[in-house]
Amino acid sequence: MKKYSAFAIAREAFRQHTGWERAWAKSEPKKKYDVIIVGAGGHGLATAYHLGKNFGITNVAIIEKGWLGGGNTGRNTTIIRSNYLQDPSAAIYEKARSLYETMSQDLNYNVMFSPRGVIMLAQTQHEVRGYQRTAHANALQGVKTEWISPQRVKELVPIMNIDGPRYPVLGGLYQARGGTARHDAVAWGYARACSDMGMDIIQQCEVTGVRTTAGKVVGVDTTKGPIDCDKLGMVVAGHASVLAQKAGFRLPIESVALQALVSEPIKPCMDVVVMANTVHGYMSQSDKGEMVIGGGTDGYNNYTQRGSFHHIEETVRALVETFPMIARLKMLRQWGGIVDVTGDRSPILSKTPVEGIFVNCGWGTGGFKAIPGSGWAMAELMAKGHSPLTEEFSMFRFREVKFIDESVAAGVAH
Ligand SMILES: Cc1cc2nc3c(=O)[nH]c(=O)nc-3n(C[C@H](O)[C@H](O)[C@H](O)COP(=O)(O)OP(=O)(O)OC[C@H]3O[C@@H](n4cnc5c(N)ncnc54)[C@H](O)[C@@H]3O)c2cc1C
């Protein structure tokens, strides 16, 4: 793989950009792999990457039914933060956030990580107590966050109306090194690195069945034929329970559409990410100038990967009191993704009842931020059989009533 650099850009400028290689190879399935990962979203690709990088396991196929990054990874609003309440969550999300800091250098691919700061607004007394508690928990966990006053919120985001009649801003939980990254680039960067290690990325290939013998996985059936493997990683987000059913076990996951929208591009007006969880809305400004706006999930379980009109109205109505200027914006487009939600709003990174099958799902509305940490931990779990970062996130915790309750940090927000 040729290295991307300023020198390479200059070199290619002189030869009309004819020397760039394909970022990743187009692959057809082999008969057998040591590891198959189902799902070429960020979590699947990051898992494959760390299997190769951290453990030297490179006889790996990543199988994707659509196109790489075409699931939630390419549909999210890209918010990155690690200010969660519970210790196991803070550990894995902070691992991920810290890996984002150097991801562009590690992958030699510009993922446009922008640690511009994230504020979670407190607009009720209940939220004030909740976020102050999280700030204290974060201090103990070594995660750098702070509780800030309404005046400081206004200084950071001058376009905000902090004196709204219904929900005035009472303060905020601020993480200065939170921010955003370019979601497609994260998937593309990992794909390029995996391909460079000799892994096969097989797109347009759906896994239609899971083959087991004596309680152990032996392979998968796909639309491109059967493929054998020693270990299988299921990393398919909103379709996790569908795939688990094919392997003969159930997951405590509900699938539901989450929607987002963007406005027409405008001049730079907000260089912080703001989340307003009481009213169900969050907003940042993209590098192109669009206001990227997200809201809540649909109120019923579904698999529709699309937006709906009432969500635009609900989300914009929710935000307009705090950001009056968006009332005059034209909205450009909207979309939806199928998110995989657990009862305690925490993910599942786990062994399963079938030997050799591992599952990584349940990231719900907030898994983009976790991609590098999740990949790191899942690779360790698959390679060694255990990982300190995944211990608490077993699928069996629901049976054992060992919930990791993140409903304040993750139930609505991202
Ligand atoms: C509108 C929206 C906004 C969001 N905003 C944020 C945010 O701001 N911050 C944040 O941290 N998170 C956010 N999220 C959540 C985040 O996008 C997801 O948690 C994360 O992208 C999940 O990544 P993944 O790799 O697990 O899943 P995906 O990217 O969905 O990848 C799973 C892949 O598996 C494939 N697949 C499924 N079944 C099969 C099969 N049988 N065979 C082969 N392939 C299969 C799918 O095609 C898909 O490409 C948001 C999500 C949405 C929808």
Q: Rounded to the nearest whole angstrom, what is the distance from the C-alpha of residue 362 to the centroid of ligand 1?
A: 10
Q: Note the Cα 168 to chain centre separation in Å.
A: 30
Q: Please report the atom of ligand 1 found closest to the CA of residue 340.
A: 19
Q: Is pLDDT above 90 for 114?
A: yes
What percent of the chain lies above the pLDDT cut of 90?
Answer: 92
Q: What is the 3-state secondary structure (H, E, C) of 105-161?
A: HHHCCCCCCECCCEEEEECCHHHHHHHHHHHHHHHHHCCCCEEECHHHHHHHCCCCC
Distance (Å, rounded) from C-alpha 236 to C-alpha 249?
Answer: 15
pLDDT classification of 412: cutoffs 50, 70, 90: low
Element (H, E) at 310: helix 309-320
Q: Is pLDDT above 90 for 286?
A: yes
Least confident of 54-63, 146-155, 231-240, 271-280: 271-280
**Within 13 Å of residue 379, how many CA atoms lie on the same side as its CB?**
23
What percent of the chain lies above the pLDDT cut of 70?
Answer: 98
Task: Write out pLDDT tens, residues 310-336.
Answer: 889 999 998 999 999 999 999 999 999
pTM attached to this predicted model: 0.97
Q: Rounded to the nearest whole angstrom, what is the distance from the C-alpha of residue 38 to the centroid of ligand 1?
A: 12
Amino acid at 345: R
Q: Is pLDDT above 70 for 347?
A: yes
| Cα–Cα distance list, 316 to 29, 337, 370 (Å) | 46, 19, 27
Specify the 3-state DSSP secondary structure of 356: coil
- Over residues 15-28, the mean pLDDT reads 94
Q: Is pLDDT above 90 for 411?
A: no
Q: Please report the atom of ligand 1 found closest to the CA of residue 208.
A: 41
When the pLDDT of each residue in the chain is averaged and rounded to a whole number, the result is 96
Distance (Å, rounded) from C-alpha 244 to C-alpha 248?
Answer: 6
pLDDT at 279: 86
Nearest CA to ligand 1 atom 37: 236
Task: Write out pLDDT tens, residues 176-209.
Answer: 999 999 999 999 999 999 999 999 999 999 999 9
Q: Please report the atom of ligand 1 found closest to the CA of residue 369.
A: 11
pLDDT classification of 287: cutoffs 50, 70, 90: very high
Question: Is the Cβ–Cβ distance between 54 and 222 less than 8 Å?
Answer: no
- Over residues 28-35, the mean pLDDT reads 98
